[in-house]
Structure 1
Amino acid sequence: MPQSQRALHTIAPEPSRSADDVYLAIKDALASNHYGAGQYLREEQLAKSLGVSRTPVREALRRLDAEGWVETRPNYGVRVKAWSLQDAREIFEARLLIEPYLAARAALHIAAEDIARLRTLADAMLAITHRPSTSESCEAWFAANGEFHAIITAAANNARLDRSLRSMKETPLIKWTFDTYSDEDRERSARQHVEIVHALEERNAAWAEAITRCHILAAEKAVLDRYQREHSAS
């Protein structure tokens, strides 16, 4: 059955949900790929599954539309956004403008305990590359990688850029990046994480910025290569 025709994912209802709760619940379901690209999200069904009225659902969908998670089609409704090659390029372009800069700032401000945590996470990701790739190892990698980069961008002490970057990296496209990686890609990425930690330990802003830029460019190449392979074969 095509993804667009799959039954709506049921989100476990909880009592007394606020508008923010409803927004986060739907966003989490989207980030976890519970809905297929192009699938329509019906307010009535979402409200029923969440145990709320349609008003907070409608507001949540408006917010998600503004953030690029869904798209509203007049006379049809709201559907899950299908990511394109242009979307991928725009996200990586934005990351290249923001993330290396924040890494450079972090090198000057990051606390010693944060560096110690980064070292633990980098070692964990390196260890994952030495084991067979499974869905569980991919999830562990994704979680460790997310925490790793969140620590660095938070340490840069620029809350607005940090929020903008986190919003971009919460998209399903970023999760797709890790599913794209070959064993060689993961090992290269893990080594780059270790080098980023070295740069931060040395308080070397230029080094931290440069290796972060290389890290993002390598991820971009893996994603664009996969996209082109899949679409040239179809």
Structure 2
Amino acid sequence: MQKKLATPSLLHTMITDMSVVKSADDVYHAIKHALIEKRYVAGEYLREEQVARSLGVSRTPVREALRRLGAEGWLESKPNYGVRVKAWSIQDAREIFEARLLIEPYLAGHAAARIGVTDIERLHVLAQQMADITHRPSTPESIERWFCANDEFHAIVTSAAGNARLDQSLKSMKETPLIKWTFDAYSDADRSRSASQHFEIVRALEQRNAAWAEAITRCHILAAQATVLGRSATEDPAS
């Protein structure tokens, strides 16, 4: 089977969008951004020399970036072939939901005692934005706006808990292309239900009610899990 290689045009687009690459971290973030935006297909091989030439850097920072991305689960190494984009499975989705259920409600409960007024006001705005989107026909653009608002909403809540290590672990999981793929599986009714739950999370935080914030966050994730895994099982019962 012919191996799929990252094309120069994709790499050129990647660096055009990410501004000038200057450091090893820049290289890492440039490649990661391209992966988040699904500019590579599952199984596509990334060659150090080609990536380095496209980014205008040496192979050393590229090698380090690919190593980091492999450790984070974005890429996988194939002996005698190289590094390729990881193909995400329904089992990956199950594991991410399980991890979210362990971490995210806990952080939401702790956020209830610590979150500031400014953050709560911002959560109100984001929850309303998502609710407004559900009242209009679904389009790729509206789904993208929803995804961005939803991502910011949850990031504010978990960051407010004050546990940087758990928050970073959660963020790493949520940055995977799989999260965006699962969200794309939502129907308009699913998004409407999710928007209502966001308002309830805000109310729990306003009341400084840790048990409520934890409980509704858990319900929120369980509902998403049921939607995504239920749909996947219907489409592929063997998954």
TM-score range normalised by the length of the shorter chain: over 0.9
In 2 relative to 1, CA 207–3 (structure 1 residues): closer, same or farther, beyond 3 Å?
farther
Tell me: CA distance 1:211–1:29, structure 2 relative to 1, closer, same or farther (3 Å): same
- Do the aligned partners of residues 52 and 6 (structure 1) sit closer, same or farther apart at CA in structure 2, a change above 3 Å counting? closer
Q: CA RMSD of the aligned region, Å?
A: 1.9
Contact 2:133 2:146 in 1 (8 A): yes
Q: What's the offset of the Cα at 1:44?
A: 1.4
Task: For 1:3 and 1:155, locate their aligned partners in 2 and report how far apart those are by CA, in whole Å.
Answer: 45
Aligned to 2:180: 175
Q: Describe how 1:97-108 pairs up with structure 2 within 5 A.
A: 97-108=102-113
Count the aligned residue pairs. Answer: 233
Alignment of 1:112-191 (within 5 A): 112-191=117-196
SS in 1 for 2:42: coil
Q: In 2, Cα distance between the equivalents of 1:34 and 1:204?
A: 42
1:102-149 deviation digits (Å, cap 9, x = unpaired)? 000000110011100000000000000001101110110011011100
Q: Which one of 10, 15, 28 corresponds to residue 12 of structure 1?
A: 15
Identity %: 70
Match of 1:49 in 2: 54
Structure 1 unaligned blocks of 5 or more: none
Question: Deviation per CA, 1:189-214, whole angstroms, max 9, x where unpaired?
Answer: 00000110010011110010000001
C-alpha separation in 1, matches of 2:65 and 2:161: 30
Q: Deviations over 1:17-49 (max 9, x none)?
A: 200000011011001100001111111111122
| Superposition deviation, residue 231 in structure 1 | 2.5
Counterpart amino acid of residue 203 in structure 1: R
Give the AA of the match of 1:168: M
Structure 2's unaligned 5+ residue stretches are none
Q: Does 2:227 match 1:222?
A: yes
| 1:31-70 pair list within 5 angstroms | 31-70=36-75
* One-letter amino acid matched to 2:7: A
Letter of the structure 2 residue corresponding to residue 7 of structure 1: T
Preserved contact between residue 6 and residue 36 of structure 1 (Cα < 8 Å): no
1:12 Cα shift? 2.3
**Whole-angstrom CA distance in 2 between matches of 1:219 and 1:46:** 36
Match of 2:207 among 202, 208, 222: 202
The 1:16–1:26 alpha-carbon spacing in structure 2 relative to 1, beyond 3 Å, is closer
Distance 1:52 1:187, change over 3 A: same
Render the CA deviation track for 1:127-184: whole Å, top value 9, x for unaligned. Answer: 0000110111011001101110010011000010010000000001111122000010
Q: How much does 1:15 deviate? A: 4.4
Q: Is this contact kept in 1: 2:21–2:55, CA < 8 A?
A: no
**Structure 1 runs of 4+ off > 4 angstroms?**
2-6, 13-16
Contact 2:3 2:45 (C-alpha < 8 Å) held by counterparts = no
Residue identity in the other structure for 1:18? S
